[in-house]
Structures are given as C-alpha cells and as structure tokens.
Amino acid sequence: MKRTAIYPFTAIVGQEEMKLSLILNAINPSLGGVLIKGEKGTAKSTAVRALAALLPTMPAVKGCRYHCDPRNAAQLCDDCRRRMEEGKLPEEEVTMKVIDLPVSATEDRVVGTLDIEEAIRAGRKAFEPGILAEANRNILYVDEVNLLEDHIVDVLLDAAVMGINTVEREGISFAHPAKFILVGTMNPEEGDIRPQLLDRFALSVMVRGEQDTAKRTEVIRRRLEYEADPEAFCAKYETEQQALTEKIRAARVLLPEVELPDLLLEKTALLSVELGVDGHRSDITLIKAALTHAAYAGRKAAALEDLRIAAKLVLPHRMRRRPFEDGKLDWAKVDELLAE
C-alpha cells in the first residue's frame, strides 16, 4: 500500500507562532520543547508531522539502536563508544521521525527496562529500550499531554533538558542518549496541567481557528486540493519546502557563533522582575530562544527584536495566574521595558 504524502509545512495557513516555535526547536533541540494549546482541528498534529518531513537528513551510526551521531563523541551510547575505540564508526543517512507517546504509556514503556536476573547471573547490563531510546534525535510527540500521569511528564521533561535517559533498578544503573524535540499538544477544555510542569516546557503557544474569512477559505481550498491529489499538491510547495529546509540547516550551523550583547542579559532580567515571573528558568530559556531566532534570521548577533519575539513564546505560560486561566502578557509593558 502506497503511503500518502505528508501535508507540507509551508502549506499550512496562518498559525505563525506555532510554526515558529516548532522551527526554533528544530534548530536548537536543547531549548526544551514546545507546548501547543488549542481547540480541535487547528493543525496541531499536522504541523508536527509536517516539520519532521521538512527537516534535513542526518548522519547516524549504522546499526545503532539509538541512531547516535557519529560526529558527536560526547553523545555516543556505550556500544558506539566501544565500537569507535575499535575503529571508524559506519555511517548512514537517516530522516527524522515523529515518535508518538500514548497517554496510556507506563513508565517502563517510556524509559525502558533492565533485566535484573541477567545482570546478576551473567554480570552484564541487559537493557530493553523504551520510547525515549527510539526518540533520540527525533521528535517525541505527546498528544493530550495534559492527560499523562504527572510522573511520566516529569521523566519526559527531565530527559528533554538533560539529553540523557537514566534507568535505575535494584542498585543497577543504565544510561543512554535521549536528545529529542519534545512537542506536547492539548485542548484546554479537557483539563490543565500543573503550573510547575507547564514551566518546564521551553515555549508555549495558543492556537485558534482562523477568524479571517479569506484565510479560512484558503484553509478549505488547500485541504481539498491535497486530498484530491496529495503528490501533485506537495509538488507545488517543493521549492518553498527546500528553501525552509536550507534555512534551518544554515541556522543550525550559525547558532554557536551568534553573539549575545550584555544589554540583552540586562533586559531579560528586567522583564522577569517587572512582569513577576517566578524562578530563573524563564530567563535562561528567553536568552536561548532569542539566540536561536537570531540564527534563524541569519544574524551573527542577537538583538532586542529577537528578545521581543522570544518573549511572546517564553513568558505567557509562566506568568502568575489562577488555575485554568491563561497567562496574559502586557505587551505595552514589554515594549516599554525594552525601549528604556
């Protein structure tokens, strides 16, 4: 059976904040993921799967169950590290995939399991990989993330920040790389997630159905055209897709070279204090997002405009609020603070 071509990322109408937040995480997975909140039928899952199809291929160690990066020795699993000591690692080009995590997943299914009997009997660590192993260097997609057990969300977010999954059972420990782009989606009508967990998502956006008649008409037209002939529809956007792929690739290369002016550090601290944002995680995330946006724009130094755009994605869900109330950012206040 022939697989239907994936709906092109560049063909999605509107939802600019959602698309930008996904692109920034694709450029810089260490940001820590994005939470997309919105009503049904607003292209949340479509955008996530379209992003994976958009991203450039990447080198991986051939035969590695974690598809390690052969050019990053610090992120190799134990098996690849031993193979590297014996000689050059064999390589292959792989495409990024979307790994789904069902809301019913148990902790063992997520993190993997250790065979304690085998470890005691044979003296070796027998590890059965879980979803986090499969997700390494891929997109981990959690639909209805607000319905996940809290301790599972904790595990996911810890791995997303650290880039490592550690499993400990009966005094035996095993670790493997787990560097992935975490994307959670949810419908606020079906319940909220705890503020302390919400804060762990680097970026957050709220998506709504288009209210502009022309844009809404274009959504219908494109969807019907895609369903009539997916291959022909995707071919129309091939040039735009390739251009965005190259822009992401270039931003990844440029990102380590982007300079951070002291002024942006001072403005970040000022925003957090004046807007009443708790903790320091928001400050660090805001700077990382601003640097990533500068790289995406092709600039070698981050500017106040990068900080302003990043603030819209980083700060609203961290504003002090009552339960089930969306955070609101006073943009007049933000502009005033950045202009001082």
CA atoms of 252 and 247, how far apart (whole Å): 9
- Greater model confidence, 267 or 168: 267
Of 301, 269, 300, 299, residue with least CA distance to 286: 269
Least confident range from 91-105, 183-197, 233-247: namely 183-197
Beta-carbon-side half-sphere exposure of residue 105 (alpha carbons within 13 Å) = 26
Residue (of 56, 63, 69) closest to 95 by Cα position: 56
Strands (E), the chain: 34-38, 58-61, 91-94, 98-100, 113-114, 127-128, 139-143, 164-169, 172-177, 181-186, 203-207
Q: Per residue in 249-272, pLDDT tens? A: 999 999 999 999 888 888 888 888
47's tokens = 């955008």
To the query of whether residue 281 is one of the catalytic residues in this protein, the response is yes
Cβ(20)–Cβ(310) under 8 Å? no
Residue 248: the pLDDT is: 92
How far is the CA of 98 from the CAs of 150, 203, 331, in angstroms? 22, 19, 34
Mean pLDDT, all residues of the chain: 82
**Residue 22 confidence (pLDDT):** 92
Residue 116 pLDDT exceeds 80 = no
Instruction: Find the catalytic residue in 281, 299, 320, 321.
Output: 281
Order of strands, edge to edge, in the sheet holding 139-143?
Answer: 98-100, 139-143, 181-186, 34-38, 203-207
**Averaged pLDDT for residues 209-220:** 84
Q: What is the pLDDT of residues 298-337, one digit of tens each?
A: 999 999 899 989 988 988 877 755 444 555 666 777 767 7
**Cβ–Cβ contacts within 10 Å for residue 49, how many?**
17
Percentage of the chain modeled with pLDDT above 90: 17
pLDDT of res. 324: 46
**Which helix (H) or strand (E) is 19 found in, with range?**
helix 16-27
C-alpha dist (Å) from residue 193 to 148, 304, 323:
9, 31, 9
Indicate the pTM of the whole model: 0.83
| Residue located via tokens 């990068």 | 306
What pLDDT was estimated at residue 150? Answer: 79
The amino acid occupying position 135 is: A
**Mean pLDDT of all residues in 205-219:** 84
